[in-house]
Structure 1
Amino acid sequence: MSDRRRLVFSILKFCSAEMQSNQLSDDAKESLEVASQCLQSAYALNLEDKHLDVSQTLEEIFKAATLNEPLKKKGPPSAADKEEAERLKTEGNNLMRTEKFTDALLMYSKAIELDGSNPVFYCNRAAAHSKMNSHHLAIEDCQRAVDMDATYSKAYGRMGLANSSLEKHKEAVDNFKKALELEPDNESYKSNLQIAEDKVRTMGTTGGGGLGGMPGLGGLPMGPGGFDLGGFLNNPALMNMASTMLQDPNMQNMMSQMMGGGGLGGLGGMGGGPGVPTGSEGGPPPNIEGLLQAGQQLAQQMQASNPELVEQLRRQMMGGPGANPPGPNNQPPPGNI
């Protein structure tokens, strides 16, 4: 049992070192913390049991043991299997183009069963997973692809998109940087990297939330000197969108409830704009919780109405490079998907 406890102690030290590194997200570190606690409970030990220490780290031991050992793969596919797998991949690509994602995923899986050594099949299946909002599975398949081919830029790019969809923007930055190292002229990777870096910067400076800005008010964009109301009012696209929103009966009803006391407890005679009722005269003072909720609702409506404009506004207010939204090139080119 002592040898097993020494092994578990080495695992605990590895987990502890990983939790101190900058390579993992907060969610991943939290998972490692839970795993560490479970191991300590199962084997009745903790990091204070220094008598179980060994001279090398677990990572050093593992590297030495696997130095000349390649990844385990199935036996090489026959020529007929390889040909059939390519046919299935092509069929999957055609199904992707017609948005039959479930069928495409099945084709890619069948291709993998015949030839599990081709990283393209895993990367293609990752694209199908992402289209079906199974982003965790997409990341797993992309990781399998880069395990087989560390120079496969498209797999890093797709992993970045999947991480972005899961709001794991730090990981997405790393993915897009790696993709750009391998394919420096790819404009899609450049654009997606910029967006991911903006997200990380916004989260770091404002605490995230909503549209990435003022916490609690739906993330209204903040500039280096604070919220730039003048910049908003002077933006024709924003004003046009606001005008359209105020003509929406649902929005008018929501604003009526907020301004009339349903959401803010009355605004004490504050005048509303055209189509927005005023608060009751002499009513109670504004309720800050209601105000925060109103800001969040308004931000969500803006995001749903015109997400590209919201992204453009965020970038402008933060002073980030590239005021124009990235456009449709965020996705990697279809090519040999």
Structure 2
Amino acid sequence: MTTLSNKEISHIIVDYFKTLVEKKEVSTDSADSLGVAIDCITDAFEIDAESTPAITLKQLLSGAASVSATEVTKAGSSSEVDEASISKAEELKTEGNKFMGTKDYRKAIELYTSAIELNSANPIYYSNRAAAFISSKDYDSAVFDAEKAIELNGKYSKAYTRLGSAKMALNLPEEAVEAYTKAIEIEGVKATPAMKKDLEAANNKVSAATKATDSGAGGFPDFSSLMGGAGGNNNMMDMMMKDPNAMKKAQELMGNPDLMNKLMSNPNIMNMAQKFQNGNFNMSDMMKDPALQDMAKMFGR
């Protein structure tokens, strides 16, 4: 049998540990320990833990398998990619990782792109480039790469976490929840606290948005009376319509859940809204109301 590299042997060991955990052939405590070992070995040798090596540990130890190092290296990759291209792509990815470490994201992206051009069947390259795009705040490109990595390997949890990060940055928390949930589902007992924290943050953002929407639809007093006033009196909306800056601030307020929550938590403003809604107000008196002054501050007036 051809001598295997340290990385190839490590990949086989990781696959063995994963099999033990998935088949529940070890205790829960041991499964947790193996999960830590898998993460450490995977990071140390830059292994794609979701891909399957060409041979198992038992086959390797028994000598039953006769497989070349080249065949192991190509496991999970396109058979049309030659050995030299695979090797060069790995070198480029490693270099890209170094530039990620020094926060030179532009250079990292260039190197990952070159690796993809040599071996476009490896999901790690797309996932790593997605991470570089996220750090560069190019979230749309990050989404594209994360989804491509998932297309190549549907059980690649890291690609899902990066998809979730990009979706959060694009203010799409519901889609981020789906991505984070899938990542945790794939990892099972090996799901890290960081992954769970990301999911919690996404869920909180969804809840906040839902709360703001529900409050605006039914829980918050109807401000429609501001549009026409009571009995045809002059009203605040008429004044706002004449002030583009005020209208802009109003739009920003309605689109910001945090500001809406702040508005709804102010009892003076709630009381003012009820007066408008019931038609029980006098405009000259209302202009002196502290609630109206609070609202003016929110509009930056």
Q: Which has the higher helix share?
A: 2
Q: Tell me the TM-score normalized by structure 2.
A: 0.50
TM-score, structure 1 normalization = 0.45
